A = this chain, B = another copy of it.
Amino acid sequence: MASQALPYRPHNHQACVTQALADARAICRAQNARLTPTRERVLELIWQSHKPLGAYDVLAELTAEGQNAAPPTVYRALDFLQQHGLVHRIASLNAFIGCAHAGENHTGMFLICRSCGNVLELTAPGVSGAIEDAAKAESFKAEDVTLEIAGLCPRCQSETGHD
């Protein structure tokens, strides 16, 4: 069996964060986009863990740090990060998570554990292909796909199984 994906096992998460920030800087530089301090800090907060964070959770952190922040501060930063493919919004949770495939052209598919809250972002060509085919069969021009699967991650399945 393949080793479990990152969110599902202990790992040096700081490495995830560092890598994500480095990627983000490179992507913004390449796109001539300004990763300002607030935007970068919001991205870092979003990457705090593999669990999605609500906009108002981000806001609370910024406020706690003494930043002069209001809802538009956060939503603007999140809009910027979304537009540059650095974070995703999870519609079924009204929350945001760092993109695990920033820079790659991809359709995110999210496995959301209802027990521990961790989210794994996948790129599944088979799924994307099947979706495109289904849309094409209806002559529908697909532009944006929201695909979110709620359930139990491997770790949480085994835990309940041991009760």
A contacts, CB < 8 Å to B? 1-2, 4-5, 91-92, 109, 111, 113-114, 120, 122, 124, 126-127, 129-131, 133-135, 137-154, 157
Contacts and interface: CB of A to CB of B under 8 A. Distances in A.
Contacts of A111: 135, 138, 140, 142
A140 B148 contact: no
A39 B91 CA distance: 26
13 contacts: A4-B139, A91-B92, A109-B131, A113-B140, A124-B134, A126-B134, A127-B131, A135-B149, A135-B151, A140-B153, A142-B150, A144-B149, A145-B147
B152 A141 contact: yes
B147 A146 contact: yes
The complex is assembled from copies of this chain, and their number is 2
Given A126-B130, A127-B130, A144 B150 contact: yes
A145 B134 contact: no
Given A133-B126, A138-B111, A152-B140, A146 B91 contact: yes
A129 to B, nearest CB: 8
A140 B124 contact: no
